[in-house]
């Protein structure tokens, strides 16, 4: 059987098919033109400066003049893997120093003073045992806050550190020798040169 398809019929069929093809191809192009949200994982925060405490030592015989000392050390922070593009810029830092009674009498106290020999740290005594009516073991006897700019300590000397000393005196002979613990920023310190925790 012979098909009688004319050229005119072929042309007419092509004309109807062309718009369908055009519409079909236009849809993906339109979708591709929409901007996609960039997928960015959460970055890891890091500090411009890291503050630590080094060489916490007690030199002296209990009950006599001695010295508790340590270094405030400032290191440069370095961007970790997946670190945020900009570090946390610490313009000021406050260290809290607590002297807490470990044992001793209730009616006397042991004098402790804090000294610094640098121009960039400021120490303020915020608690004094002499103002308390009683002084049981476990109570806060003295507290200081030491405030500084980390960059100032970093630039202070080639070791990037500042020296802090406590000078404990005698006290509590009448009803028991007073011994103290040292806490720096809430962490109980062990004296690196003696291995104990009381002074």
Give me the domains of the chain, ranges plus CATH numbers: 50-188 (2.60.40)
Has residue 70 got a pLDDT over 80? yes
Q: Strand, helix or coil at 58?
A: strand
Backbone angles phi, psi at 148, to 5 degrees: -160, 165
Q: Taking residues 29-48, what's their average pLDDT?
A: 63
| Average pLDDT over the chain, rounded to an integer | 81
Contacts of 141 (CB under 8 A, 6+ apart): 99, 100, 101, 109, 110, 112, 127, 129, 135, 180
Whether 20 shows a pLDDT value over 50: the answer reads no
* CA atoms of 164 and 180, how far apart (whole Å): 17
pLDDT over 90 (residue 19): no
The model's pLDDT over 80-100, given as tens digits with 9 standing for 90+, comes to 888 888 877 778 999 999 999
Are 59 and 42 spatial neighbours (Cβ–Cβ below 8 Å)?
Answer: no
> Which residues, other chains included, contact 46 with Cβ-Cβ below 8 Å and sequence gap of 6+?
77, 78, 79, 80, 83, 84, 87, 88
Say which residue the tokens 């400021």 belong to. 122
Tokens for 64? Answer: 């006599």
pTM metric for this prediction: 0.74
Q: Is 16 helix (H, G, I), strand (E, B) or coil?
A: helix
Q: How confident is the model at residue 155, as a pLDDT?
A: 93
Q: In degrees rounded to 5, what are phi and psi of residue 176?
A: 115, 130
């Amino acid at each position: 059987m012979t098909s009688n398809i004319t050229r005119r019929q072929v042309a007419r069929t092509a004309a109807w098919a062309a718009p369908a093809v055009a519409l079909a191809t236009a849809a993906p192009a339109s979708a591709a033109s929409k901007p996609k949200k960039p997928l960015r994982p959460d970055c890891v925060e890091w500090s411009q400066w890291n503050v630590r405490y080094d060489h916490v030592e007690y030199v002296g015989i209990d009950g006599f003049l001695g010295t508790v000392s340590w270094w405030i050390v400032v290191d440069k922070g370095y961007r970790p893997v997946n670190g945020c593009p900009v570090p946390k810029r610490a313009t000021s830092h406050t260290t809290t120093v607590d002297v807490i009674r470990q044992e001793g009498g209730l009616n006397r106290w042991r004098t402790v003073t804090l000294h610094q020999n640098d121009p960039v740290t400021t120490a303020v005594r915020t608690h004094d045992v002499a103002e308390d009516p009683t002084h049981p073991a476990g109570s806060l006897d003295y507290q200081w806050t030491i405030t500084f700019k980390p960059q100032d300590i970093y630039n202070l000397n080639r070791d990037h550190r500042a020296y802090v000393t406590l000078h404990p005196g005698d006290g509590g002979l009448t009803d028991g020798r007073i011994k103290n613990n040292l806490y720096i920023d809430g962490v109980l310190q062990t004296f690196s040169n003696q291995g104990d925790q009381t002074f």
